[in-house]
């Protein structure tokens, strides 16, 4: 697998398929509010475009985050920290579940790797 690391080392851009599946994948549950347009989980994710902001046009500034399961590496960084300077540990709404890849594929179909 070839990985391009851009100037910002936290931004990784994949340009081909992985050689193996991760053990876990992040799944956003119904509790996600998108943190009113400032989701910390997106900033902590080391994979570019893995977590995507989807605005709720009927209820601005709310929205939700969607995770691309083909890009998620199961690192749990999206669940391990709160915004800087706060007491939070992970998503303040408990909206991110780390799911075993086998369980995810059992309910969503096999992912192409």
Model confidence at 12, in pLDDT bands (50, 70, 90)?
very low
| Tally of CB atoms within 10 A around 26 | 27
- What pLDDT score does 112 carry? 67
Structure tokens at 31: 């509790």
- What pLDDT score does 7 carry? 43
Domain ranges of the chain: 21-108
Q: What is the DSSP letter of 47?
A: B
Structure tokens at 59: 């209820």
Please choose, from the candidates 36, 37, 101, 28, the residue with its C-alpha nearest in 3D space to the C-alpha of residue 70: 101
Q: What is the CATH number of domain 21-108?
A: 3.30.70
Q: Tell me: the pLDDT tens digits for 41-85?
A: 888 888 999 999 899 899 888 889 999 999 999 998 888 755 565
* More reliable by pLDDT, 1 or 31: 31
User: Is the separation of the CB atoms in 24 and 76 below 8 Å?
Assistant: yes
Place of tokens 């902590």: 44
């Amino acid at each position: 697998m070839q990985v391009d690391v851009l100037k910002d080392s936290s931004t990784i851009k994949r340009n081909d398929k992985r050689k193996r599946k991760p053990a876990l994948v992040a799944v956003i549950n119904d509790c996600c509010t998108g943190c009113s347009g400032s989701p910390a989980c997106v900033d902590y994710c080391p994979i570019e475009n893995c977590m995507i902001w989807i605005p709720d046009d009927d209820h601005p500034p709310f929205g939700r985050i969607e995770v691309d399961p083909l890009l998620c590496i199961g690192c749990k960084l999206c669940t391990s920290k709160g915004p800087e300077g706060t007491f939070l540990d992970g998503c303040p709404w408990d909206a991110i579940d780390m799911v075993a890849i086998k369980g995810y594929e059992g309910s969503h179909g096999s992912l192409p790797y």
